[in-house]
A = this chain, B = another copy of it.
Amino acid sequence: MSRTIKKISKKIGLHPGALVHVGDQKIDKPIIELVRYNENEFEEKRLQSMEEFISSRAENKITWLNIDGLHDVGVIETIGKQFNIHPLVLEDILNTEKRPLIEDYGDYIYMVAKMLSYDDEENIVKAEQVSVVLGNNYVVTFQESVGDVFNSVRERLRQGKGRIRKDGPDYLAYSLVDCIVDNYFIILEKFSESIEDIEEVLMNDFDQDIVEKIYRMKREMVLLRKSVWPLREVVIGLERFESTLINKSTIIYIRDLYDHTFQVIDTVETLSEMLSGILEIYLFSLSNKMNQVMKVLTIMASIFIPLTFIASIYGMNFEFMPELQSKYGYPIVLAFMISIVIFMIVLFKKKKWI
């Protein structure tokens, strides 16, 4: 967290639009990849510099320019001039701590998304910012470092499978963002597995299975909710769609269905609340049991420890202990002990511990 904020504070005090790269430098030299295609042709090469690009513009083709590495501000500026991108957008491209966003600048649309990868060694998620500029016949993408999740798009471009080569740059941009989103599932899978591992370890601590039972029910309830909630919108949709497919006379039945759906949702919510209530009760019952156990211990200890002390006094081997010679010493001590026991019991009764 503090690293993120530190990066941002790097920029404080500069005039807006000043180009400063706030991320870590992740590679030596920016890598510029150029892909040009239309339905029939496909061309792919790695450029040495932006000059090479400027001299090679081609008509009737869609251009995808991908830049890996943002620390070379000059390259970014050249691209900015080439595609007529506003300085503030360039600034945002360099500021790798942006939130995902979309902005329409008329001539082009600017999007920011986060490409995630899971670092198996450190068990953390790494986020890399991807900026996408979508123009009328080009897409420019900016990444912080080498390696991305776009290989399947590149492959589909090369092979011309599906609609991708037939459609415009908007379809390409869509495909790229789609890849980023799809990749999230891989990250989520890792998390999901870790959670299940921990769960299994924790569940071993319980002899009684009541916690496990409640917990499993809670989870089923989460899944239930995921089935039921969106259904409401389905039914609303049926009613609201001004489709000729839905007859007016059916609308009244659909409204009834909506009502049923709401009743299901209501019940799911009520049951969820009841489950939470039960967990609370379980916690109370744990505390209560502990109290019970502690009371037994305290009562036993409070009664017998003083008695043992008294007995141990008369177990001392001093030569001059007048009580020991007395004929009534033993019964008196016993009587005294019994009176202590009675006193203690009365006391605990009064405290309502017994």
Contact = CB atoms under 8 A, between A and B. Distances in A.
A174 B238 contact: yes
Copies in the complex: 5
Interface in A297-314: 297-298, 300-302, 304-309, 311-314
Contact of A182 (B13, B177, B206, B329): B13
A69 interface: no
Given A5-B189, A263-B99, A302 B308 contact: no
Nearest to A156: B15
A342 B4 CA distance: 50
Nearest to A103: B255
A231 B129 CA distance: 12
11 contacts: A2-B189, A12-B182, A15-B156, A88-B256, A109-B246, A127-B227, A168-B247, A170-B247, A178-B257, A211-B281, A293-B294
Contacts of A213: 194, 198
B104 A252 contact: no
Given A15-B164, A113-B231, 9 more contacts: A15-B161, A104-B237, A178-B257, A188-B264, A195-B275, A202-B282, A309-B311, A312-B315, A316-B330
Nearest to A6: B189
A74 to B, nearest CB: 19
B178 A260 contact: yes
Interface string A268-294: 101101110111111111111111011
A318 B314 contact: yes
A250 to B, nearest CB: 5
A233 interface: yes
Contacts of A300: 298, 301-302, 305-306
A127 B225 CA distance: 12
Contacts of A17: 162-163
Contacts of A319: 324-325, 327, 329
Contacts of A13: 151-152, 179, 182
